[in-house]
Chain A
Amino acid sequence: MLIRLQQISKTYRVGEIDIPALRAIDLEIARGEFLAIMGASGSGKSTLLNLLGCLDRPTGGTYELDGQEISRLSGDALAHIRNRKIGFVFQNFNLLTRTTALENVELPLYYGPWLSTSAKQKKATELLVRLGLGDRLHHHPSQLSGGQQQRVAIARALVNEPPLILADEPTGNLDSRSGDEIMALFHELNAAGITLIMVTHEPDIAGHAHRIIHMKDGAVL
């Protein structure tokens, strides 16, 4: 198992009111799976994904990632795990503006083990070429289409060769053709052994996954 969640809960406290965003979730995800999470707005999909991505800590339960119990780790240790084991893909791409595609992809390398400038460039270039953006290395995000921007973001997620990619509505801002291209890419990555977890509203996008889980009011159905 790559991921094992036991009785995971997350409660936000806003003023005097407790908002339970996740309630006692048990979930296991095997290495190499391609999983889609669906559910109504506010059902807790993003909250779950952020916990899986070590961006947040649960208020209860245990989370084991790659054999390591991580729900009580320090902030620095979580940052380390995010850098080495997890790649994020966002709905709005989250590329740095006024920064080239190449530099965007290099970004995670700055927080990993030391690499020379040329080694960083080489790695990022190879990845972008593999994703069909070899002629867009020095373009800024504003000079790229949505689909291209999302591919740059995926290259950034892959650059540290993580075993796990988390995507929160990766096709939410894309037309259906670009969405299909991204899905084709996800299949490729999954075939190469990467575990993929994707949140989506669209049934046909979710249909690309091997397993679909549904959420409602902070619980997995």
Chain B
Amino acid sequence: MNALAIFRIAARALFRNKGRSLLTALGIIIGIAAVIAVVAVGQGAAVTMQTQISSMGNNLAMVFPGSMHMGGFRGGAGTRHTLTADDGEAILRESPYAVAVTPVVRSGAQVIYRENDWATSIQGVGVSYPEVRSWSMKEGDFFTESEVRSGSRVGVLGATVAEQLFAGEDPVGKSIRIRNMSFRVLGVLARKGSAAWGQDQDDMIVIPWTTARRVLENSPFSHVNQLLISLTSMDDLPQAREDISNILRQRHRLAAGADDDFTVTDMTEVTQMITQVSSLMSMLLTVIASISLIVGGIGIMNIMLVSVTERTREIGLRMAVGARRRDILMQFVVEAITLAGAGGILGIILGIVVAKGVAGANNWPVVVSPGAVLLALSFSAGIGIFFGFYPAWRASRLNPIESLRHE
């Protein structure tokens, strides 16, 4: 008997008991759907995270004031006045790994244009900011070195702010008011989208850091909240961090053995943490899915045993007209594979639907890898073989005479 004929007979036998077949396959359907959904959402989330993290900037390293101690920020990183824009200049000058550096002075304010107002964050930065964050201009220009040196009241708007304040009007050249001071809008940044943690990166205004510190904050100091450093390559990260640390320790005249009064960090730590959490989640779901698959397999075995009993006379008849034991064995194994395989296919479809739903709610892409689909299919077929073999073997061992007499 050829394979196609066996498959057709199996498919027909299963189709005769549609409801029962579907219920039997449910365990497989759920198990496979869970695996497919987890893998698809997981890979989609990973891709999103990668793009979001690379959207943070070009091979980005960050320096905060204050030290990271015993895994946490001691005294609150960013609150101390230990980091200056000159530190950034020095890193750019002395470290071969630094390509561009910008200080960041963070602030926030209500911004007003005519009758429109909008509360947003104000970032005081240097001229290298667009390069460091690989962020292009949508229109207009970024401010210049001389505007930074003189602390000019100029600014560049994030796309969200431009929309909120100007609602379609061209902002370039217009005057906006920040804390009752007039600022001239030089340009608008291209839209960047939300960051890995969901914050809208376009909801901000960038102004020269000097302006932010001296004019907005009315402070005589030149300390900054953060230095953003663009490195030559992420591969150089360990040496680059070492190098930056040494430069800063020297500049801050820290004695050997004293704690750093700054923290150098980068996105790989964030990535690692998120990866860890998500791989733990997928492991958990994989365990649940495996249990579901095993339960589904046992269900298939059970229904196949019932089916063999119900069809004892059919088996006897097939033997009487020339079926060999292995023909009967094959027929029932193929039936189990077909049942599990159909469950697998339905599970894949259900899994993709679920993944699309979950991903759609979170704005993630869904990555359904052909590898995962293939694996799911062969796995469900494997379940069919494993759990279908015993009932099929029982069928093949039946005595034809007794089977033909079976009621």
Interface residues of A (CB under 8 A from B): 50, 53, 55-56, 75-76, 79-80, 82-84, 88, 90, 94, 96, 98, 107-108, 110-112, 114, 156, 160
Contacts and interface: CB of A to CB of B under 8 A. Distances in A.
A98 B1 CA distance: 21
Interface string B376-407: 00000000000000000000000011001000
B98 to A, nearest CB: 74
A82 B2 contact: no
B404 A94 contact: yes
B325 interface: yes
A94 B313 contact: yes
A83 B322 contact: yes
Given A94-B317, A96-B314, A98-B16, A112 B404 contact: no
Contact of B1 (A75, A76, A110, A160): A110
Contact of A80 (B1, B314, B322, B325): B322
Given A94-B313, A98-B16, A114-B2, A75 B320 contact: no
Given A79-B324, A90-B404, A111 B1 contact: yes
Most A CB atoms within 10 A — which of B316, B322, B326? Answer: B322
Contact of B324 (A53, A76, A84, A108): A76
A76 B396 CA distance: 12
Given A55-B400, A55-B401, A98-B16, A108 B313 contact: no
B322 A111 contact: yes
Given A50-B401, A94-B313, A96-B314, A108 B321 contact: yes
A79 B322 contact: yes
B320 A82 contact: yes
13 contacts: A53-B320, A75-B324, A79-B319, A80-B324, A82-B321, A84-B322, A94-B313, A108-B321, A110-B323, A111-B321, A111-B322, A111-B323, A112-B322
Nearest to B9: A110
A134 B313 CA distance: 27
A111 B317 CA distance: 12
Contacts of A75: 324-325
A64 to B, nearest CB: 20
Interface in B303-329: 313-314, 316-327
A50 to B, nearest CB: 5
Given A55-B401, A82-B321, 9 more contacts: A55-B320, A79-B324, A79-B325, A82-B319, A90-B404, A94-B316, A110-B5, A111-B1, A111-B322
B63 to A, nearest CB: 76
Nearest to B313: A94
With most chain B CB atoms within 10 A of its CB, the pick from A55, A79, A82, A88 is: A79
Contact of B322 (A56, A90, A98, A108): A108
Given A55-B400, A55-B401, A107 B321 contact: yes
Contact of B320 (A84, A88, A96, A98): A88
B95 to A, nearest CB: 77
B321 A156 contact: yes
A80 B319 CA distance: 10
A170 to B, nearest CB: 14
Q: Pick the 6 closest A-B CB pairs, nearest first.
A: A83-B322, A111-B322, A108-B321, A79-B324, A76-B324, A110-B1
Contacts of B321: 82-83, 88, 107-108, 111, 156
Contacts of B1: 110-111
Contacts of B2: 114
A50 B405 CA distance: 12
A108 B326 CA distance: 15
Contacts of B404: 90, 94
Nearest to A108: B321
A111 B320 contact: no
A50 B320 CA distance: 10
A91 to B, nearest CB: 10
A10 to B, nearest CB: 11
Nearest to B4: A117
Nearest to A110: B1
A107 B314 CA distance: 11
B128 to A, nearest CB: 74
Interface string B322-365: 11111100000000000000000000000000000000000000
Contacts of B16: 98
B327 A111 contact: yes
Contacts of B323: 79, 110-111
A2 to B, nearest CB: 19
A79 to B, nearest CB: 4
Contacts of A55: 319-320, 400-401
A82 B9 CA distance: 21
Nearest to B12: A99
Nearest to A112: B322
A148 B326 CA distance: 32
Nearest to A88: B320
B296 to A, nearest CB: 26
Nearest to B317: A94
Interface in B276-324: 313-314, 316-324
Given A79-B323, A114-B2, A107 B318 contact: yes
A66 to B, nearest CB: 16
